[in-house]
Structure 1
Amino acid sequence: MTIQTPPPFEPVDAGPHTPMADTHSPLHRNLGVGSIAFMALAGAAPLGAVIAAFPIVVSVSQSPAIPLFFVLATAILTLFSVGFTRMARHVPNAGAFYSYVQAGLGRIPGTGAATFAVGTYVMLSLALAAYIGAATSDAIAAFNGPITPWWLWTAVWVLITGALGYRDVELSAKVLGVVLVIEILVVVTIDAAILVGGGADGISAASLNPGLLTEGFPSMGLMFAFFSFVGFEATAVFRNEARDPDRTIPRATYVAVIGVGLFYAFSAWAVTIGVGTNSIVTAATDDPTGMVLGLAQSFVSPIMQDIMQILLLTSIFACMLTFHNVLTRYTYTMGTKGILPAAVGVVNVTHRAPSRASLVVSTVIAVLLLAVLIAGLDPVAEVYTWFSGAATLGVIVLMALTSLSVLVFFRSRPEANTGIWSTAVAPAVALVCLTVVTWLVVKNFPVLVPSTIAANVLLVVLVATFAVGAAVALVFRARRPRAYQALDA
């Protein structure tokens, strides 16, 4: 008797009502609230935000009210999460933002949002890969090591990310959990040391004065504070791998948003005390890179500064791994819907993960990195700055579209409308706020992407990615009606 070995990949019926027992090779459904929240929080790269984003928020706003900017951003994203999580139980697949847009606005905008999201996360992954390579090279040199090319370390990190992304997502969650806990412990240690030491001028609540929001350029401060949260939306992408998605996804989302918001606000207040409310604007403007690292050296010990330089690499890696997994799930879901080739919409029977989609993502990022290397672009000043700026705009637009979709969805389905707060009021307020933030980002896009040519090209690319998806849906409607209908499956 011959025993047949199953192929390493098998297609999965990803329909919303297909029970696990009826699927050939289901995704590994073992993620709980903690695992999903860890991946979302790691995507926000908290240590990287404290070291790099805090000084930028202060310098561009010319205001010491940095804790208030993070409180406002947290409030807006919490309002967004109300409608987002309420609708989660009605969106059965792992497409996250694009699935919400499709459920609320229809197949054509939804498919456009799908390709738009993929383009957005590809840009972000490319930016992070270039940055971590340059940061690793600089760290080695700082510790008296040899001068090495950035692209060598970028290749190493991309390989590690791809290897983890290929396997069961629970492994990634464990790695990200360890990295995240270490990051938070380090920042909390510095915060505590500053408060115990009394800071530069004593403990003060001056930076919490709402009157400061009328000074300087508060809109710029809010905009850059908002950018520090990019990554929390990863929660819904792992729906198909959650143990109990209707309970797990909402809880993980609130943990991610409120948890990271409180962490940022408290740490921003501590940093303001450490530098001094009257001195922080000058310090952030004169030495943005060294401001927080200097606090670690002054209030803890010189070795803490060295530790933070190393942990900055792991923080970026955690962010990189999170978005690799997010992009993989988008790619996988689009493969099951026929938007991308069906070959990427299969599950590895050994790892019970969308491994082929992960390979495709790794390959695309590697090819794009080779292209920027051949073009001779600077990994930080150009690749990271340009593409992270464009990606941030993309994520905010997706959130605004999602809020609009929540409103339309519940308005057109009275039977699903179980509460005016979660289905109308909160999504409407979030939509207004996110529209304002989108306008601020577009208005100040030259600040994010200093090159006018690059800014215009990236804006065109973002619009084009949406147009491509919408065009695919239109072709399906005209020539492949069954595939068009299946987009809602």
Structure 2
Amino acid sequence: MSTAGAHAPTRRLTGRLGVGAIVFMVVAAAAPLTVIGGGFPLAALMGNGAGAPTMFAVGGVILLFFAVGLSTMSRYVAKPGAFFTYVGYGLGRPGGLAAAWLAILTYTTVQIAVYGFLGLTLGDWMQSKTGLDLPWWVWALALIAVVGLLGYRHVELSAKVLGVLLVAEVGIVIVLSLVILAQGGADGVSADSFTPSVVTSGTPALALMFCMAGFIGFESTAIFRDEAKDPERTIPLATYAAVTTIAVFYTFTSWALVQGWGKGFDQEVADDYAGFIITTAHTYLGGAGAEVINVLLMTSLFACVLSFHNVITRYQHSMSNAGLLPRHLGRVHEEHESPHVSSLIQTATALALIAVFAIVKLDPYLEVFTWFSGIATVAIVVLMALTCLAVIVYFTRNHVRAGAWRTWIAPGIGLLGLLGVTYVLFANFPMLLGDVDAAGNPRVGTLTIAMLALMAAFPVFGLVQAAVLRRHRPAAYATVIDTISE
């Protein structure tokens, strides 16, 4: 089935999102406060201790090289499909379809993981404040409904909500960091976190693994292409701004938190990694500051799921317009100018999955959050590596004169870095899932095998779909990566 048709005006997304609005949405997806409060203590505990802030900087540099290729590709492949479009143009249609389904898995699993964590956190907070004791999944389902309502409307409404929440969560962490530094920390302010001896202590590769997970979401800027104002300029600027903002924020604030405990940092993280950010806030900002951060941790998680909801609905919309999903998912609401059908489907998917997890009694943190965030972390890095390779192949094959730096040097460096991270992720995949033995050592058990099989199933489905389209619907196959309805 061709993507062309008489209904193009009702299938094309439009808008005037500027650089700031897009940056707010994709940075909110990274959930900065949650990463600093949850991911950073784990990176320090299981990685290289006080050297963990440097790994945020290393991750940011790798992703800046990736961003060069991604931004250049967005200028020459003017489509909103992001990963699957770029991989398709560079590595062929089968690769593009495999990437499309892997992207759907990535963003669905990270969203579901966060719903589990958010439902648990909100439930515990409500119980402590009001005495109302409800299962985690009740809160998760209620939040899905709120996210679905916002996602159904024009994306600019979500951008405004995310902007407010993001400013609040980033602001409180910066305030905490500045107070720590103003007070001279626990043992004075030092740059030891960036010295070779500290950075190479422990297991830096594991720290890098956890730090890279904190960047998930920034790469989705291209999916908002049709809703951007002056996309040729807006998308590249938003991509660079997002990764730079995230990297600088993570590196600075995590370093400041190390200063807050000084020589006792490693011991504090080991003793209280789950409550590390709250304890630190209580020490330097008092009980009121700790309570504010506790509330903003929940709003950070909410901002994360709202942002990923918008990303997933737009991937589904693009895939529908490419003939990979039912055509009605590509419809655009006449009043809200949103991919409303895709949004409803995504809301229904999230509701169904959380309901299933509730029925089978999965633990919201140890299973829902840990398992599915582990899958998302590995899948997103694989997608980025594929995209870097696709950029190099596309520009080489088509002899595009966009400069060696943008077409193969920077993407090539990014590819090498991402391949290294991919190796570390697969080597430690059981640990990401919490699949460990009694001594806490990672093992390749039934859980790891099942999750690896799930990860493989989605891109394999894409390859099979490509083969079926090529054989039975060659006209649709010929335009399958052209995601805009004409």
Q: Give the shorter-chain TM-score range.
A: over 0.9
Please report the TM-score for the alignment, with normalisation by the length of structure 2: 0.95
Report deviation, 1:459: 1.0
> Could you tell me whether the CA contact under 8 Å between 2:43 and 2:211 is conserved in 1?
yes
Report deviation, 1:444: 0.3
Which amino acid in 2 is paired with 1:73? G
Q: 2:459 aligns with which of 460, 466, 469?
A: 466
Does 1:51 find its partner at 2:44?
A: no
Does 1:178 find its partner at 2:170?
A: no
Once the two structures are superposed, residues 161-194 of structure 1 have per-residue CA deviations (whole angstroms, 9 ceiling, x without a partner) of 1111111000000000000000111001100110
Map of 1:33 onto structure 2: 19
Report deviation, 1:146: 2.2
Report deviation, 1:13: 6.7
Map of 1:321 onto structure 2: 306
Q: Secondary structure at the match of 2:332?
A: strand
Which amino acid in 2 is paired with 1:440? V
Q: Secondary structure at the match of 2:50?
A: coil
Bigger shift: 384-393 or 122-131? 122-131
1:248-287 alignment, distance < 5 Å? 248-276=234-262, 278-287=263-272
Map of 2:178 onto structure 1: 192
Map of 1:362 onto structure 2: 347
The alpha-carbon distance between structure 1 residues 483 and 13, as it changes in their structure 2 partners (threshold 3 A), is closer
Q: 1:391 aligns with which of 376, 384, 392?
A: 376
Map of 1:426 onto structure 2: 410
Bigger shift: 104-113 or 286-295? 286-295
Residues in 2 aligned to 1:196 and 1:435: alpha-carbon distance in whole angstroms: 40
Map of 1:443 onto structure 2: 427
Map of 1:205 onto structure 2: 191
> Could you tell me whether the CA contact under 8 Å between 2:119 and 2:138 is conserved in 1?
yes
> Could you tell me whether the CA contact under 8 Å between 2:80 and 2:222 is conserved in 1?
yes
> Could you tell me whether the CA contact under 8 Å between 2:81 and 2:315 is conserved in 1?
yes
> Could you tell me whether the CA contact under 8 Å between 1:69 and 1:222 is conserved in 2?
yes
Q: 2:72 aligns with which of 71, 79, 86?
A: 86
Residues in 2 aligned to 1:360 and 1:252: alpha-carbon distance in whole angstroms: 28
Map of 1:3 onto structure 2: none
1:271-420 alignment, distance < 5 Å? 271-276=257-262, 278-414=263-399, 416-420=400-404
Q: 2:155 aligns with which of 142, 157, 169?
A: 169
Which amino acid in 1 is paired with 2:292? I
Report deviation, 1:144: 5.0
Map of 2:481 onto structure 1: 488
Report deviation, 1:347: 0.8
Which amino acid in 2 is paired with 1:441? L
Residues in 2 aligned to 1:51 and 1:242: alpha-carbon distance in whole angstroms: 32
Aligned residues: 472
Residues in 1 aligned to 2:415 and 2:4: alpha-carbon distance in whole angstroms: 30
1:106-145 alignment, distance < 5 Å? 106-145=92-131
Q: Secondary structure at the match of 1:216?
A: coil
Does 1:475 find its partner at 2:459?
A: no
Map of 2:205 onto structure 1: 219
Residues in 2 aligned to 1:155 and 1:191: alpha-carbon distance in whole angstroms: 34
Q: 1:74 aligns with which of 57, 60, 67?
A: 60
> Could you tell me whether the CA contact under 8 Å between 1:25 and 1:352 is conserved in 2?
no
> Could you tell me whether the CA contact under 8 Å between 1:39 and 1:234 is conserved in 2?
no
Report deviation, 1:91: 2.1
Please report the TM-score for the alignment, with normalisation by the length of structure 1: 0.94
Map of 1:246 onto structure 2: 232
Report deviation, 1:30: 1.3
> Could you tell me whether the CA contact under 8 Å between 1:25 and 1:349 is conserved in 2?
no
Which amino acid in 1 is paired with 2:351? A
The alignment yields a C-alpha RMSD, in angstroms, of 1.6
Q: 1:151 aligns with which of 124, 137, 152?
A: 137
Report deviation, 1:24: 4.7
User: Which ranges in structure 1 are unaligned for 5 or more consecutive residues?
Assistant: 1-11
Report deviation, 1:92: 2.1
Residues in 2 aligned to 1:392 and 1:410: alpha-carbon distance in whole angstroms: 28
Map of 1:9 onto structure 2: none
Once the two structures are superposed, residues 208-256 of structure 1 have per-residue CA deviations (whole angstroms, 9 ceiling, x without a partner) of 2123222110100111111111111121111111011111011001111
Which amino acid in 2 is paired with 1:204? S
Once the two structures are superposed, residues 124-162 of structure 1 have per-residue CA deviations (whole angstroms, 9 ceiling, x without a partner) of 111111111111001112335322211111011000111
User: Which ranges in structure 2 are unaligned for 5 or more consecutive residues?
Assistant: 436-444
Once the two structures are superposed, residues 26-79 of structure 1 have per-residue CA deviations (whole angstroms, 9 ceiling, x without a partner) of 423211100000001101101111111111111011421122111101100101
Residues in 2 aligned to 1:133 and 1:295: alpha-carbon distance in whole angstroms: 24
Bigger shift: 472-481 or 116-125? 116-125
Residues in 2 aligned to 1:296 and 1:28: alpha-carbon distance in whole angstroms: 42
> Could you tell me whether the CA contact under 8 Å between 1:14 and 1:93 is conserved in 2?
no
Residues in 1 aligned to 2:86 and 2:125: alpha-carbon distance in whole angstroms: 41
The alpha-carbon distance between structure 1 residues 28 and 145, as it changes in their structure 2 partners (threshold 3 A), is farther
Q: Secondary structure at the match of 2:367?
A: helix
Bigger shift: 423-432 or 452-461? 452-461
Bigger shift: 345-354 or 444-453? 444-453
Q: Percent identity?
A: 40
Residues in 2 aligned to 1:368 and 1:488: alpha-carbon distance in whole angstroms: 29
> Could you tell me whether the CA contact under 8 Å between 2:370 and 2:433 is conserved in 1?
yes
Once the two structures are superposed, residues 319-341 of structure 1 have per-residue CA deviations (whole angstroms, 9 ceiling, x without a partner) of 00111111100101111111111
Which amino acid in 2 is paired with 1:176? L
> Could you tell me whether the CA contact under 8 Å between 1:347 and 1:356 is conserved in 2?
yes
Q: Secondary structure at the match of 1:487?
A: coil
Report deviation, 1:301: 1.6
Residues in 1 aligned to 2:428 and 2:11: alpha-carbon distance in whole angstroms: 47
